[in-house]
Structure 1
Amino acid sequence: MDEILNKFFYKDGSLRDIYILDTTSMDWDKLLTNFKFTIYKNGEIMDDEYIPSEQELLNGNLINVNLIYKGISFNGYYNNSDFIEFDLHPTAIDSIESLNKLLDFMKELTQETNKEIILTPESTIEEVYISVKPNETIKYNL
């Protein structure tokens, strides 16, 4: 596991990305319903019951989301593209315990969406570090 920490969570100032591919607005609905996000619309924090709509995006609103999962912060943007992306600071993954929390998060994402979840370097969707399939098979690309 130390090899995974050293190879994938090096501290160079860049983020790591978690992607859920081939998504629809229904996948966002599942995540927003089943996880406790803090949602910001144009920089303003929204009520806990607030669920963004695609129409708000069409009207030019910027909607970001933040989730603290077992002490690890994940940030993303609500959008109508065909993927969902969360940013992760590699400094948050500094032990086997925090790595296991990240893997738990990825497993929960795949359970909710029934889609493969991948961890990549920042903005590099083609270079997959870790993938979790809907059957919870974890693959490390060492």
Structure 2
Amino acid sequence: MNYDEVANEVFFKDGSLRDIYILDTDIQIWAIIFEYLESNEINYRVTIDGLITRIRDIAELLRIKKEASIGITIEYSEIDICGYFYEGSVIEFDISPIQIDSEKK
């Protein structure tokens, strides 16, 4: 598909988010994601009930998520990629089509 087809068929602006799921994962995948973000100096923040935290231990975050809402926002190529710590075996990211306004993005 070319950019126009992707923009019109996937990232059309209808007010909803686009979900990206990584299925059949484990906590090691989150560790790889954090390692990748750190080693490539990609800005991101982890939140607990909306408050930024420095906790990066995946097992600890998954334990906390039983009592609180845990999220991650990755700032990549002027796009906010929002992730959620629902369970150890599924990773979900959301992106807003509004932010996809060029072929580069």
Q: Which residue type is aligned with residue 4 of structure 1?
A: V
Supply the distance in 2 between the matched residues of 1:56 and 1:33 (Cα, whole angstroms). Answer: 20
Where does the alignment leave 5 or more consecutive residues of structure 1 unmatched?
A: 99-142
Structure 1 match to 2:36: 34
Where does the alignment leave 5 or more consecutive residues of structure 2 unmatched?
A: 38-42
Structure 2 match to 1:75: 82
> Number of paired residues?
95
Runs of at least 4 residues off by over 6 Å: none
Structure 2 match to 1:85: 92
Scaled by the length of structure 1, what TM-score is found? 0.61
Scaled by the length of structure 2, what TM-score is found? 0.80
- The Cα shift of 1:81 comes to 4.0
Deviations 1:62-104 (CA, angstroms, capped at 9, x unpaired): 1111000121110111232421111000011122121xxxxxx
Aligned-residue CA RMSD in angstroms?
1.5
Structure 1 match to 2:40: none
Comparing 4-13 with 28-37, greater Cα deviation is found at 28-37
Q: Which residue type is aligned with residue 97 of structure 1?
A: K
Comparing 84-93 with 30-39, greater Cα deviation is found at 30-39
Check 1:97–1:71 CA distance in 2 against 1; reply closer, same or farther (3 A cut): same
1:98-137 alignment, distance < 5 Å: 98=105
Report the identity percentage. 35
